Amino acid sequence: MSTHTYSVSEIVGSSPEGMDAAIRNAIARASKTIRNIDWFEVVSVRGHADEEQVLHFQVTLKVGFRLEDPED
């Protein structure tokens, strides 16, 4: 079994459509500049509301990505 070392970055995804969409947007965007994303953890959820209506969701994530082996 191989061993891996990970780094963790904190990012915030947003969407007017919901928390799931905010998470998916964050991971999709992060994957454009971060290789080897293996996991995420939801740290917090917040949103923007106007009177009785939710307008926008923001989800803070910790994203774990595998560091590349210098021998590869």
Q: Is residue 33 part of a domain?
A: yes
For residue 1, is it within any domain?
no
The answer to whether residue 71 sits within a structural domain is no
Task: Give the count of domains, the chain.
Answer: 1
In a domain, 17, yes or no: yes
Look up the pTM and report it. 0.86
Q: Residue 3: pLDDT band by 50, 70, 90 thresholds?
A: confident
In this structure, what CATH number is given to the domain that contains residue 27? 3.30.1660.10
The partner residues of 41 in beta bridges, in order of sequence, read: 62
Question: What pLDDT, in 10s, does the model give residues 7-31?
Answer: 999 999 999 999 999 999 999 999 9
What number of helices (H) and strands (E) belong to the chain?
1, 3
For residue range 24-67, what is the model confidence (pLDDT) as tens digits? 999 999 999 999 999 999 999 999 999 899 999 999 999 999 99
Closest CA relative to residue 61, chosen from 38, 72, 45, 48: 45
Any domain includes 25 = yes
Give the residue numbers spanning the domain of 22: 6-66
Q: Is residue 46 part of a domain?
A: yes
In this structure, is residue 48 part of a structural domain? yes
Helix/strand/coil percent split, the chain, to 5: 15, 55, 30
pLDDT of residue 72: 58
